[in-house]
Chains A and B, each alone.
Chain A
Amino acid sequence: MTIAAEQEMPRSKRRSSLIRSPQFSSLVILIVLLAVFGIADANFLSPLNISNMMAFLPELGIIALGMTLLLTAGEFDLSVGAVFGLAPVVVMLLVQNGGFDIGIALLAGLLLCIAIGAVNGLIVTKIGISSFLVTLSMLLVVRGAALYITQGFPLKSWDQPGFFVTLLAGSFNIGTFRFYTSLWWFISLSLLAIYVLHYAKLGNWISAIGSNRNAAVARGVPADAVKIWLFILTSVLAGLAGMISAFRISAASPVAGTGYELEVIAMVVVGGTALTGGRGTILGTIVGALMLRSIRNGIVLIGVPGLAYNIFVGVIILAMLILHALLQKNAARS
């Protein structure tokens, strides 16, 4: 009967919708970018440079995973860059000046991040202030705290290797490539995020909340609790990324992570996640993270003057967003 035809249709439909999907167009552009940079400067694809990019990638990428989930639920967090700075400052101060064990100090840092995320989430959901305003204020509070407790100076350098340092920022060589353990963190967390957002019950709730909060609530979805946990998650991931970065360079600075919030949001939306909520893609975010990382790196390599390179980054991000918007319009029309 018509059964065969019915089963055939969704499959071909799915393929065409994959090609039109935002993460796919982002991927194409990423490949084009990599090719352009690779041709323009042979060093771009050298093991050393790739190793370099892979060392930076996880630090912003890990935050971007949390931000993707948060944006999909219809909220965002501007305090991540500040948390990225504060967490390692607190942890290292506790060890260096307080004489605490590193394990205890890390636990304290974790609790601090949870508290920051919880405060963000509670104010946004229970008092009903937009996450833009709440997390912007939190950015100032957290950054201010980091500056105050350090008196504005970077801490003295970290000279205590150990289990946690290896766990977060160890490195190993594969052939001529040098990889940091942070890459494994990024890969594992990415897989987990893909699972949660696209395959788990929670992901269904997250998308529904961002798409139509009232509809989700009417179906018994605990929207506020989900959002609060996502704020906590994002904060914790920002702190984790901060620790990874600080351990990698063996130093913590109160101004580390300045401006990261916008870079992370750029990664997420360039990947195809909607700023307005409801539609999120972790694969897109990974592509977006790779793209912004390689743009920053490639632009310097091909000799764009350092001071001019934000112009290029900005223009490329804008171009990506325009492309997504056009694709979206096209899809709606067809």
Chain B
Amino acid sequence: MEVLRLQNLQKSFGSVRALKNASFALNEGEVVALLGDNGAGKSTLIKAISGVFSVDRGDIYVRGQKVSIRSTRDAMDLGIETIHQDTSLAPDLSIARNLFLGREPVNLKWLGVFAPLDLAKLRDAAAALLKRVGISKKLDADALVSTLSGGERQSIAISRAMQFAAKVIILDEPTNNLGVEETHGVLRFVKEVRSAGHSVLLITHNIHHVFQVADRIIVMRRGEIVAEQTVADTDLLTVESIITGADMSALLKETRAK
């Protein structure tokens, strides 16, 4: 079943056309890898889906319903959780507070934004979550994020998306800066999320990871989607050649022949 459909999305930054007519669909329980060179428009595409900014033109459908995503809150309410490449955590806040930022457990809910945080629940839930993601080093839920390494921060951001069983989880280069163990943790998490019936949109530059976890591949070049293939029907070289735009397999055959 289709959970998310993008139809002719367009977005320009001044004279830069970051998105030109991007369309694709994401099915339930599917991992789709979004590939493309630097500046291809991948982050722009997912920022449009996650409500960071609105598109100039085009429609977004969630479970067949046309939706308008005007804010990050709209996207979260539709069940779309995103881990951005550049911004994810507030360094001056503790791990626990970051994990629940924007969705804080509170007592006396009727007090609205003045409601007191349920600090005990916050710490317990955070500790349980950290354990579940299997972050290698023991992290104290009260530690400030500014004291963590880049990889640890990434793991925290990912555990946060996990906890709000979202329909669609978008990961923008989640394995950047991660060590071997954390990278495996992320890939394991992607598979876990899929088997729980959720969909994942994974942006990465590591094609090996794609072949380990993705069901389908979408390639972007200069703001356009230039190819769409199921992983079973393609191979590493073909994908690489589509990304760069050069016919690498042909090139390789040529060199082998010599």
Contacts and interface: CB of A to CB of B under 8 A. Distances in A.
A binds B: yes
Interface of A: 9-10, 13-14, 195-196, 199-202, 204-205, 207-208, 210-212, 214-222, 274, 278-279
Interface in B69-87: 71-73, 76, 82, 84, 86-87
A207 B104 contact: no
B25 interface: no
Contacts of B115: 200-201
A201 B97 contact: no
B101 A215 contact: yes
B52 A218 contact: yes
Given A208-B101, A211-B93, A220-B72, 17 more contacts: A9-B140, A10-B140, A196-B114, A200-B111, A204-B104, A204-B117, A205-B101, A207-B93, A210-B92, A212-B87, A214-B86, A215-B88, A218-B82, A218-B84, A219-B76, A219-B102, A278-B93
Give me the 6 closest cross-chain CB pairs, A-B, nearest first: A219-B102, A278-B92, A220-B73, A214-B87, A211-B90, A211-B92
A54 B73 CA distance: 45
B86 A211 contact: no
A199 B117 contact: yes
Contacts of A211: 90-93
B140 A208 contact: no
B43 interface: no
Contacts of A204: 93, 97, 101, 104, 117
Given A196-B114, A218-B72, A220-B76, A208 B90 contact: yes
B125 interface: no
Contacts of A202: 113-114
Nearest to B77: A220
Interface string B103-142: 1101000010111110100000000000000000000101
Contacts of A196: 114
B89 interface: yes
Nearest to A220: B73
Interface of B: 50, 52, 71-73, 76, 82, 84, 86-93, 97-98, 101-104, 106, 111, 113-117, 119, 140, 142
A102 to B, nearest CB: 30
Contact of A218 (B50, B104, B106): B50
A199 B93 contact: no
B152 to A, nearest CB: 15
Contact of A219 (B86, B101, B119): B101
B116 A200 contact: yes
A278 B50 contact: no
B212 to A, nearest CB: 27
A195 B92 CA distance: 18
A110 B102 CA distance: 31
A90 B85 CA distance: 51
A217 B103 CA distance: 12
13 contacts: A10-B142, A14-B142, A202-B114, A207-B92, A208-B90, A208-B97, A208-B98, A211-B93, A216-B90, A219-B76, A220-B73, A221-B101, A279-B92
A207 B98 CA distance: 11
Contacts of A279: 92
A205 B117 CA distance: 11
Given A200-B113, A204-B104, A218 B73 contact: no
Contacts of B86: 214
Contacts of B71: 220
A196 B103 CA distance: 16
A204 B93 CA distance: 8
B138 to A, nearest CB: 9
Nearest to A214: B87
Contact of A221 (B102, B114, B119): B102
Contacts of A201: 104, 106, 113-117
Contacts of B103: 219-220
A170 to B, nearest CB: 28
A215 B89 contact: yes
A63 B103 CA distance: 30
Contacts of B82: 218
B170 to A, nearest CB: 11
Query: Max chain B CB contacts within 10 Å: which of A200, A214, A274?
Result: A200
A212 B102 contact: no
A278 B103 CA distance: 19
A68 B97 CA distance: 20
A208 to B, nearest CB: 4
